[in-house]
Amino acid sequence: MEDVWSVAVGVFQVWMFVVVFFIMLPAMFGLSLGVTGVYIQILVKILEWATLRIQRGRQEQPSVPVPLPNGIIERAGGSMEEEMGQLRSSRSLVGGEFSLSDAFYFYKKGLESIADDQVTQRFSSEELASWNLLTRTNQNFRYISLRLTVIWGVGVFIRYCVLFPLRITLAIIGLSWLVIGTTLVGFLPESSAKNWLSEVVHLTCYRICARGLSATVHYHNKENRPQKGGICVANHTTPIDVVILANDGCYAMVGQIHGGLMGVIQRSMVRSCPHVWFERSEMKDRHAVTSRLRAHVAARTKLPILIFPEGTCINNTSVMMFKKGSFEIGGTIYPVAIKYDPRFGDAFWNSGKFNMVSYLLRMMTSWAIVVNVWYLPPMTIQDGEDAAQFANRVKSAIAHQGGLLDLAWDGGLKRGKVKDSFKEEQQKMYSSIIVGHNMSSTNTEEE
C-alpha cells in the first residue's frame, strides 16, 4: 500500500511540475512554448484526413445518407416592395386596388418561418461540413470505418484522460489566483500601483484560464484595442468571450450580482478593480444602469467597459439586434468582432439546453478553442443619428468584419414573442406600398 501511495505522490509531483513550469508560468508572462500551435496543426491534418476518408467511403457505399445542403429552404433576398412588385406586375391595378396576389407574399413568408425561421436556427449548434470526431457533429455524416473508429477512440482517451484533467487543474489554479490575488490587492490604498497590480492579477488569471481551454486566439489590428474611458462592444457566442478578450487586455465587467461561487469571485474582483455589478432590482431600472455606466465612462482613468449588446448568446453564425442602451451612454465605442472555428469544438452556449457546469465540461472535453478577434476602429455617434441607428451601424461593421450574418431580429425572441410594434411596422410598410401605387396611378391620370 505504501508503494502505491509513493507512486501516486510521485505522479502528482511530476504532473504539477509540468503544469506550473511548462504551462502556467509561460501563460502568466504571455509567452507560448509552441506546443498548442503544433497540437492544432496535427488536429487540422487529422480532421482533413477524416473528411477525405468519409467522402471516399460515401462514394464506395451509396447507401450512406447524402448530406443535406446548409439551410432547409432557399430564401429570396429582396425587400417586401420588390417581391410584392413582382407578384403585382402581371395585373393592371387601378389606384390603390387590393390584389389577391399580395396574400401570396405573406403566405410564402409564413411558410418559411414555420419551416426554418431566421431566429430559432440561431440558437442551435452551428452545422459542420464534416465530422470533427466529437459527439456533436453533422448527423448527415454517418460513414464509419475501422481506422476512423480507432482515431475516434484515441481521441476520446486524449480528451478525457489527458486534456480534461489538465484543463481542470489550470482552471482551479486560475480561479484561485483570481480570488486570492484580487482580495490581497483590494487591501491596498487607492493608487496607481494598486491599479497596475490589479491589471497584472486579472491578466495572469485570464491567461491561465485560456490555457486551461487550450485556447488559440488570433488578435488582429491591435492598434484599435479599447482604451480607458471607452466602451468595448462585441458579438456574443459564449461566456468564454470574456476570457478571450480579457486575455489581451483588462476590462471593467458589467453584470448582475450572483450568489455562490460566482458571487465570491465577483466580490473579490470588485475590491481591486471598479467593475460594475448590479442588484437584480437595479437591472430593471434603465435610468439607474445608464447613470452608473455614464459615470464610469466619464472617469477617463477607469478601464473600458465590456458590453455584449445582443443580451444573449448567438450560435457563431450571425449578429442579432444590438440593444440601444449601450449606445446612449456616450463616449467612444470600440467594436470587436469574435469568430470561433467550429471544427475544434462548439463554443456556442445554449443556455436553454445546458447549464453552466455541463457547458464548461463540454468545452473542457473538446479538442480546443480556436478563435479570431478583430479590433475595429473606434466609432462615435454622428450628427443626426440616434442611439438605435448608431447601434445598427456598429452591428453591421462587426458582422462584416467577422463574416457573420447581419440580422435585425431581437435575440430576446429566444424566450419571448414578437413585439406588437414590429407587426405594426410590417403593416405600415404594406400600407405604404398600396398608398404609393395609389399616388403614382393618380399622378399618371392627372398628366
Which amino acid is present at 80? Answer: M
Sketch the domain layout of the chain as residue ranges: 11-41+145-411
Cα 122–Cα 127–Cα 130 angle in degrees, nearest 5: 170
Q: How confident is the model at residue 438 (pLDDT cuts 50, 70, 90)?
A: very low
Q: The whole model's pTM is what?
A: 0.78
Q: How confident is the model at residue 374 (pLDDT cuts 50, 70, 90)?
A: very high
Cα separation, 305 vs 226, in Å, equals: 9
- Coil, strand or helix at 337: strand
Long-range contacts of 99-106 (CB under 8 A, 24+ apart): 102/430, 105/80
Q: How confident is the model at residue 312 (pLDDT cuts 50, 70, 90)?
A: confident
Residue 307 has pLDDT above 80, yes or no: yes
* Rounded mean pLDDT, 391-420: 82
Q: Pairing state of beta strands 405-406 and 318-319?
A: parallel
**163-191 as b/e: b if 16+ CB within 10 A:** beebbebbbebbbebbbebbbebbeeeee
Phi and psi torsions of 319, nearest 5°: -125, 125
What confidence tens digit (pLDDT) does each residue in 222-280 have?
A: 999 998 888 999 999 988 898 899 888 888 888 777 677 677 777 788 777 778 777 76
Look at residues 205, 203, 306 and name the one whose alpha carbon lies nearest to residue 255: 306
Q: How confident is the model at residue 295 (pLDDT cuts 50, 70, 90)?
A: confident
Task: Check residue 94 and give its pLDDT.
Answer: 47
Residue recorded with cell 482613468? 301
Q: How confident is the model at residue 442 (pLDDT cuts 50, 70, 90)?
A: very low
Q: For residue 326, what are the CA distances in angstroms to 301, 310, 383, 389, 440?
A: 20, 10, 18, 12, 42
Look at 23-27, 338-342, 368-372 and tell me which has the smallest mean pLDDT. 23-27
Cα separation, 28 vs 194, in Å, equals: 18
Cα 163–Cα 259–Cα 326 angle in degrees, nearest 5: 90
Cα 74–chain centre separation: 26
Cα separation, 348 vs 339, in Å, equals: 11
% of the chain exceeding 70 in pLDDT:
75
DSSP string, 203-272: HHHHHHHHHHTTEEEEEE-GGG---TT-EEEE--S-THHHHHHHTSS--EEEEE---HHHHHHHHHHHHH
Q: How confident is the model at residue 113 (pLDDT cuts 50, 70, 90)?
A: low
Considering 132-146, 151-165, 249-263, the range whose residues carry the highest mean pLDDT is 151-165
Cα separation, 367 vs 215, in Å, equals: 10
Instruction: State the average pLDDT for the chain.
Output: 78
Cα separation, 437 vs 398, in Å, equals: 37
Given a contact cutoff of 8 angstroms between Cβ atoms, the answer to whether 228 and 334 are in contact is no
Which amino acid is present at 184? Answer: L
Residue 394 has pLDDT above 60, yes or no: yes
Cα separation, 270 vs 264, in Å, equals: 10
Q: How confident is the model at residue 419 (pLDDT cuts 50, 70, 90)?
A: low
C-alpha cell of residue 279? 442588484
Residue 341 has pLDDT above 50, yes or no: yes
- Integer-rounded Cα Rg, in Å, for the chain is 26
Residue 12 has pLDDT above 90, yes or no: no
User: With the C-alpha atoms ordered 343, 349, 353, 358, is the resulting torsion angle positive or negative?
Assistant: positive
Q: How confident is the model at residue 439 (pLDDT cuts 50, 70, 90)?
A: very low
**350-382 as b/e: b if 16+ CB within 10 A:** eeeeeeeeebbebbbbbbbbbbbbbbbebbebe
What confidence tens digit (pLDDT) does each residue in 189-220 have?
A: 888 888 888 888 888 888 888 888 888 899 99
Higher pLDDT among residues 115 and 302, named by residue: 302
Task: Check residue 219 and give its pLDDT.
Answer: 94
In 311-388, where do the E strands start and end?
A: 318-319, 333-340, 369-375
